[in-house]
C-alpha cells in the first residue's frame, strides 16, 4: 500500500481509531514502520511511503517456497507468471504489487538464489531459480 504522509490521518483513523496526527507524529509513525522493515520510503523527502504486508525478506521466503512447491528450480519463468499465473492462484503472490515483488526478487538475486533476466518490456522479465 502506497501512502502519502497526508493520507496517514485517514489510514490511522480507519485502522487504529486515532484522531488527527501532526506531521511530526505521522513521520515518527512511518519511520517506526521503516525501522522495523514494515515500510520503505519512496522518496528522499519522506513524503511517500510503501507500507508492506510482509517484510521484503518474508516475501523472499514466500517466493522461494512457491518456487520449490511448484518445481521451478533450475527453470525460467516470468515475473508476470509469478504474479498472475495459474500456479500463483490462491497464494499471497497472486496479484501482488510489482514493486514489492521486484524488491524481493532482487534480494534473492543478491543472495544467489535466482537470476533476473531483463526482457524487452516489464511483462517479459525472466527469473531463473537456483534454490
Confidence grade of residue 43 (pLDDT, cut at 50, 70, 90): confident
Q: How much is the mean pLDDT over the chain? A: 84
CB neighbour list of residue 28: distance below 8 Å, 6 or more residues apart: none
Q: Name the grid cell of 21.
A: 496526527
pLDDT of residue 124: 79
Residue 4: pLDDT over 60 = no
pTM over 0.85: no
Q: Count CB-CB contacts under 10 A for residue 54.
A: 16
The residue-averaged pLDDT of 15-44 equals 80
Instruction: Please give the share of the chain, as a percent, with pLDDT higher than 90.
Output: 52
Q: Measured between alpha carbons, how far is 20 from 105 in angstroms, rounded to an integer? A: 37
CATH topology of domain 56-129: Arc Repressor Mutant, subunit A (1.10.10)
Q: Are strands 126-129 and 39-41 parallel, antiparallel or unpaired?
A: unpaired
Contact criterion met (CB below 8 Å) for 65 and 79? no
Average pLDDT of span 87-113: 94
Amino acid at each position: 500500500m502506497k501512502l502519502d504522509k497526508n493520507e496517514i490521518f485517514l489510514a490511522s483513523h480507519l485502522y487504529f481509531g486515532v484522531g488527527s496526527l501532526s506531521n511530526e507524529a505521522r513521520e515518527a509513525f512511518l519511520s517506526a514502520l521503516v525501522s522495523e522493515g514494515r515500510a520503505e520510503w519512496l522518496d528522499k523527502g519522506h513524503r511517500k511511503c510503501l507500507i508492506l504486508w510482509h517484510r521484503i525478506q518474508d516475501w523472499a521466503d514466500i517466493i522461494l517456497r512457491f518456487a520449490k512447491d511448484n518445481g521451478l528450480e533450475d527453470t525460467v519463468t516470468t515475473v508476470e507468471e509469478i504474479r498472475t499465473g495459474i500456479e500463483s492462484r490462491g497464494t499471497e503472490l497472486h496479484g501482488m504489487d510489482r514493486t514489492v515483488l521486484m524488491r524481493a526478487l532482487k534480494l534473492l538475486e543478491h543472495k544467489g538464489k535466482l537470476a533476473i533476466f531483463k526482457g524487452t518490456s516489464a511483462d517479459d522479465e525472466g527469473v531463473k531459480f537456483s534454490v
